[in-house]
A and B are shown apart, each in its own frame.
Chain A
Amino acid sequence: MVQSEVALETYYSYWAGPMPAAEITWMVVILIISAFALWQARTFARKFM
């Protein structure tokens, strides 16, 4: 299913916060925190396993 014009308009209207390029940076933030979590898991495994 391709997104309808209304769905796309509503989707992009959500990203109206002060964060620059909010429609992209939210994904970058999730990626950074997730990468940190994974790094933390590897470090923890090295220390205690």
Chain B
Amino acid sequence: MDLKAVLKNQNVLKKRSGYMWAMTATILWGLWYLPGSVLWVLDPFATMYGDIAVESGDVAALLVTAVLITAFNALAVVVVLTIWNGSLGKLGELKRTMREIHPCTKWFFAASIFGGPVAILGSFIAMGFVGAAFAAVAALLYPVVGTILANRWYGEKITKRALVGMFFMICGGIVIFGAGITGELGASVPLIGIIGGLMIPIGWGVEGAIAGKGLDVAEPDAALHLRFISETAIWWVIVIPILALVGFPMYTYALAFFDPLVMMVMFFAGLAFGYEYVCWYKSFPLIGIARAQGITILYVVVVVVALYLFFGSVPDSSLLIGGALGIAGAAVMFSEDVTEEESIRT
């Protein structure tokens, strides 16, 4: 076999691995909603929400409790990624990436700002002020932002087939949540809810594009670990102390976290979220931002199946039609002949 054929084979294998990473990320993202939902009913979060709602109202209670849950979630992700990188022998690589502030760290710190306090907080704001369906549709639009940015910023190729697949997926998302949105947007929508909704696709879309740039020079496992260390620092060093200074009892409830059940549920939330994210990051350099983000919006289908199997929530027909459209979009992307494409960039 000549060198050209060997390189071509390796290219095909890498693309297939990229699709596998994206699919693994999709499944774990969908499963994350199980612990993510039940955390809200466990103490100290349930008590915290109730106590703050009495004094400061439901909106403040929702936001402040969301911040504490997100901060513990980020911490749990740092723990599980230490296990991941430890077992892959990449903790040394993490140290090296951290020291390289100019080419590496600045990108992943920026990615953590867009992914954490912009996208995740935006989700909670949109859910609290408008509704869950609105927040979910907004999240489904993040590949559009990521794809356009990656294309304009560093010339990532978008094939016609990838565009068609993404179109199907977005249509599926709109069908799934269309009815809910119509109901939620029937009344007057507060401006802050709209801002929260815009924060989600901008946050995750920009994070993907920034991470794609940083991954030109960094190793994905170490990069993702660094991104979550940065997010954890943002929550625990900046946001939580500010909220405590403003008068919210953040530390009282944070110290009440050490109960075996809530710690176990948080560990599994961190495991699903952390490994989902690392698979997502690993797929970027192999298949590109557009395809990786397009495939992972199929998390909606996984969420529907998981909620039915574990919570007994029965999906209605719009969910099934939307899910079918999403799967059709993924099939269009998967069936693309990747053997002729030597680079994901122009």
Q: Which residue of A lies closest to B279 (CB)?
A: A37
Complex Cα spacing A33 to B42, Å: 25
Count A interface residues, CB 8 Å.
34
Given contacts A11-B38, A14-B41, A19-B309, contact A48 B14 (CB under 8 A): yes
Complex Cα spacing A40 to B279, Å: 10
B9-41 vs A: 1/0 string, CB under 8 Å? 010011001001100100110010011011001
Q: Are B311 and A34 in contact (CB under 8 A)?
A: no
* Partner among A7, A30, A48 whose Cβ is within 8 Å of the Cβ of B271: A30
Q: Are A33 and B262 in contact (CB under 8 A)?
A: no
Q: Are B256 and A14 in contact (CB under 8 A)?
A: no
B31-57 vs A: 1/0 string, CB under 8 Å? 100110110011110110000000000
B259-281 vs A: 1/0 string, CB under 8 Å? 10110100010011001001100
Q: Is B308 an interface residue (CB 8 A)?
A: yes
Q: Are B311 and A14 in contact (CB under 8 A)?
A: yes
Complex Cα spacing A10 to B45, Å: 13
Smallest CB separation, B262 vs chain A (Å): 7
Q: Is B231 an interface residue (CB 8 A)?
A: no
Q: Which residue of B lies closest to A47 (CB)?
A: B13
CB proximity to B under 8 Å, residues A28-49: 29-31, 33-34, 36-38, 40-42, 44-45, 47-48
Q: Are A1 and B41 in contact (CB under 8 A)?
A: no
Q: Are B268 and A1 in contact (CB under 8 A)?
A: no
Q: Are B311 and A16 in contact (CB under 8 A)?
A: yes
Which residues in A have their C-beta under 8 angstroms from that of B311?
14-17, 22
Given contacts A27-B268, A48-B14, contact A7 B43 (CB under 8 A): yes
Q: Is B153 an interface residue (CB 8 A)?
A: no
Complex Cα spacing A29 to B258, Å: 25
- B interface, over-half SS: helix
Smallest CB separation, A30 vs chain B (Å): 5
Most buried by B among A4, A6, A17: A17
Q: Is B1 an interface residue (CB 8 A)?
A: no
Q: Are B309 and A22 in contact (CB under 8 A)?
A: yes
Q: Which residue of A lies closest to B265 (CB)?
A: A11
Complex Cα spacing A44 to B37, Å: 33
Which residues in A have their C-beta under 8 angstroms from that of B313?
17
Complex Cα spacing A41 to B84, Å: 9
Q: Is B237 an interface residue (CB 8 A)?
A: no
Q: Are A45 and B278 in contact (CB under 8 A)?
A: no
Q: Are B88 and A41 in contact (CB under 8 A)?
A: yes
Complex Cα spacing A37 to B278, Å: 9
Which residues in A have their C-beta under 8 angstroms from that of B47?
1, 4, 7
Complex Cα spacing A3 to B21, Å: 37
Q: Are B24 and A14 in contact (CB under 8 A)?
A: no
- In addition to A3-B261, A7-B42, A26-B306, 19 A-B residue pairs with Cβ atoms within 8 Å of each other are A1-B43, A1-B47, A1-B259, A3-B42, A4-B43, A7-B43, A14-B311, A17-B309, A17-B312, A18-B309, A18-B312, A22-B309, A22-B310, A26-B35, A30-B28, A33-B272, A38-B87, A38-B275, A41-B282
Q: Which residues of A are in contact with B by a Cβ distance under 8 Å?
A: 1-4, 6-8, 10-11, 14-19, 22, 25-27, 29-31, 33-34, 36-38, 40-42, 44-45, 47-48
Q: Which residues of B are in contact with A by a Cβ distance under 8 Å?
A: 10, 13-14, 17, 20-21, 24, 27-28, 31, 34-35, 37-38, 41-44, 46-47, 84, 87-88, 221, 256-259, 261-262, 264, 268, 271-272, 275, 278-279, 282, 306-313
Could you jot down 6 A-B contacts, CB within 8 Å? A7-B41, A14-B41, A18-B309, A31-B271, A33-B275, A41-B282
A-B complex: 9 closest residue pairs judged by Cβ atoms: A1-B256, A17-B312, A16-B312, A10-B41, A17-B310, A19-B309, A22-B310, A34-B275, A37-B275
